[in-house]
Structure 1
């Protein structure tokens, strides 16, 4: 049977336009490897940059607390003029005094809470009574003062608690930065290989479309020229080609969305991100470790668990400080000073009465007891409760990570099996499609048999590619949970994010 007119194929014109646009986009594509994508994210990803700034702020907090432990020097100079009235035999009289005083002191608190102060002061004064003026007179004093807490504020646990908290918070912030770097690498790798799959899917659809077009051309030749084909065969292959063309259009749209998703992880705007292209093939990551080894590695190398442990250390330091504040204040103190006084009209130069200065010693005990318990008791109880809650959260998260690792390993083993099965299925489907094409040439197969075989081949190739990407991303998720992913890309991340 010979057809007298060709079948209209309006979708071929649309397909040509799509292909032209694709070729133009490919010419402008920016090709990246997976390592290059991770490196670019390390320098441009805003989430990772925020984590880096938070770690820097935590280190600055440690420097601030250490600076607060340094000795302080204080100095002052004051002047005062005072008038007063005094009564006497001659009636009221006016007296006045002018004083200039100066003081300098050095203060320091030791690691065990001892407050030390060393200082000196000097005064110069002039006095006037009625019409008689005296002075100037001078005085000078040097002193040493010490105060030692016995309960509240005593010991290194209380004094160094702010530094301990800041240091633990800095460690936690640094580990959070490393965790953010690992998460960023995981996100980038997931988006990268999804883009790679989308590009490979386009290739599969294009190959399928080319095969469908060849079958369509052959069917038309047999029907219109040789007279050995039927219009049904032409319609069958035309419909199949149109369906593949639609799938190809969808695959290209998916590829664009995957490129935009990767660009977002790289800190790129969508317009630029659409030109990104993935290159290479999924790498081999080696043998899969045993489940017990993975759980052990997670407990030792997981940045998330390490950050939670650092938070626990900071919480314990806060508990110690709160419990210290919930004590009676009992301080012993002493001050020893030496001073002298001289005046121009009484002594010559710096001569001292008795040949020595005047000495003074002061000592005592300070006690402060809050009435009714005060706020400190409630603060200490709250701090202990918060620590217990943090420990429970850590335990829950550690158990969750162990379960997650076990589940990921099971999924990864299944994904590896799926890769082998999908590869074998794709090979068999290829052989079947070729056999059906040969049978069609011999006239012992129908067009629907060939179309079905071609569709099976296309689906098998897509499943094979999907299985490869699933295995790879599952392995990266497992390495992220155990802390190995950061080590894999440590050189790239540290070089670009520091």
Structure 2
């Protein structure tokens, strides 16, 4: 009895508290699969939502540039009244004129830069004199004209490269934004999966520690019974198992804290507040992701399907269009233009109906060349040089990133091969550690082993189980990283992520 009173046993209270927390957490837990976690992030993650909006805005910019290429209709109506003084036989006279003019025109620029305008104008005017009754009431005079005008740039502004450059840049920017959206979706899925399986590992680690603590408590009770009742045990055995139980209880407390931190990290990826995220709980076992492709196949897939490289290629196309536009602006402006018009004039008191002198309207043709040459060169040469330099820099960055992704893929594949070996080795080690722990427990019952040997074997088993779980999670997350680098992660979760660009 003295032995019993001299051994402090705070672990009973700790076990009761831990069991109470476990039941409370289980009652509040919100379980979800990995696919459900990725799907929730797709609808709630702020970063992904921003990428989706930016892709939409880029497409709206394309619509704006295409709308700017459509024909433009302009129309106007003006009225004017003017008074003037003049001398005559009767002395100083005041005369007035009233006119109403209207104009309508349709302008369009073709893909090669030809500016076309088709229009018509009409004018009606009246004249009157304040002191001359003969002039009062003079009928209106009518004029009408129809014209066609064309202007074709020969140097600056000529060709589709110059005219369609804004549309090409907008299209390339939209493609880049869509690829960035795909990249953001893939990165979001990767972040969620990493957080999800880290939470899974944290919960499994709690299970390992709880099993170890339960075993340690049973061994402690057995040691007490042997020491107090049977007389075959020693105080050292009780202390040994008591210390082991305390160490495991401390590890379990740390595992629970880690689990809470992992749940909050997952909730952050899902757009949840920490209070709600703490109740998240993964369900299901790690999936099998299939055979690992060869390195050459992975590198080729990355070049063809990587969202990051696709976005960079789209940016290069936008920069090339910008270079073409800047080089076009660095040329002399030399345009050839022509305008042909037909017009008529009549008054209600001089001509009958629409009869015209000579039986036809008046024709007019105008043509010429228009030259514009910046004095001293202007800023265009420097802008063109800067655009070319920026394009060269972007091409160098693309090459560097492509090489980095290829190296990353090779490294990830090596890591995956090692992880697969580690899973097999850790599984076998855990099995052997379990057999060793059971053997040491049996030897202790037979009196051929010590409590220290049992505690050491139990600790080895616990560490082996945790290493096996860590190896499984490392292999899984490394495969997801490889899928992300090669652009395959979106295909894996295509049903819950935004549709990737074609």
- Taking structure 1 as the reference length, the TM-score comes to 0.97
Give the direction of change, closer, same or farther, for the CA distance of 1:206–1:496 in structure 2 (3 Å limit): farther
- Distance (whole Å) between structure 2 residues aligned to residue 374 and residue 87 of structure 1: 55
- Distance (whole Å) between structure 2 residues aligned to residue 15 and residue 321 of structure 1: 74
SS of the residue aligned with 2:102?
A: strand
Residue 14 of structure 1: CA displacement?
A: 3.0
- Distance (whole Å) between structure 1 residues aligned to residue 88 and residue 379 of structure 2: 56
Residue 424 of structure 1: CA displacement?
A: 1.1
Runs of 4 or more above 4 Å deviation:
88-91
| One of 336, 342, 355 as aligned partner of 1:338 | 342
Alignment of 1:263-342 (within 5 A): 263-342=267-346
SS of the residue aligned with 1:254?
A: helix
- Taking structure 2 as the reference length, the TM-score comes to 0.97
- Distance (whole Å) between structure 1 residues aligned to residue 39 and residue 3 of structure 2: 60
8 Å contact kept, 1:46–1:267:
yes
- Cα-to-partner distance string for 1:457-491 (whole Å, 9 max, x where unaligned): 10110000000000000011011000111111112
SS of the residue aligned with 2:427?
A: helix
Residue 333 of structure 1: CA displacement?
A: 0.6
1:469 aligns with 2:473: yes
- Cα-to-partner distance string for 1:259-287 (whole Å, 9 max, x where unaligned): 11111111111111111111111111122
- Distance (whole Å) between structure 2 residues aligned to residue 385 and residue 37 of structure 1: 44
- Distance (whole Å) between structure 1 residues aligned to residue 5 and residue 338 of structure 2: 117
Matched with 1:114 is 114
8 Å contact kept, 2:209–2:462:
yes
- Cα-to-partner distance string for 1:67-121 (whole Å, 9 max, x where unaligned): 1111111100001111222345554432221111000001111111111101111
Matched with 1:443 is 447
SS of the residue aligned with 2:281?
A: strand
- Distance (whole Å) between structure 2 residues aligned to residue 18 and residue 76 of structure 1: 84
Q: Give unmatched runs, 5+ long, in structure 2.
A: none
Residue 18 of structure 1: CA displacement?
A: 2.6
Residue 137 of structure 1: CA displacement?
A: 0.8
- Distance (whole Å) between structure 1 residues aligned to residue 88 and residue 378 of structure 2: 55
| One of 352, 355, 359 as aligned partner of 1:351 | 355
Q: Give unmatched runs, 5+ long, in structure 1.
A: none
- Distance (whole Å) between structure 1 residues aligned to residue 58 and residue 51 of structure 2: 11
SS of the residue aligned with 1:64?
A: helix
- Distance (whole Å) between structure 2 residues aligned to residue 4 and residue 171 of structure 1: 76
8 Å contact kept, 1:101–1:121:
yes
8 Å contact kept, 1:40–1:496:
no
8 Å contact kept, 1:43–1:496:
no
Residue 393 of structure 1: CA displacement?
A: 0.5
| One of 406, 411, 432 as aligned partner of 2:410 | 406
Which shows bigger deviation, 252-261 or 488-497?
Answer: 488-497
| One of 244, 247, 254 as aligned partner of 1:250 | 254
Alignment of 1:155-166 (within 5 A): 155-166=159-170
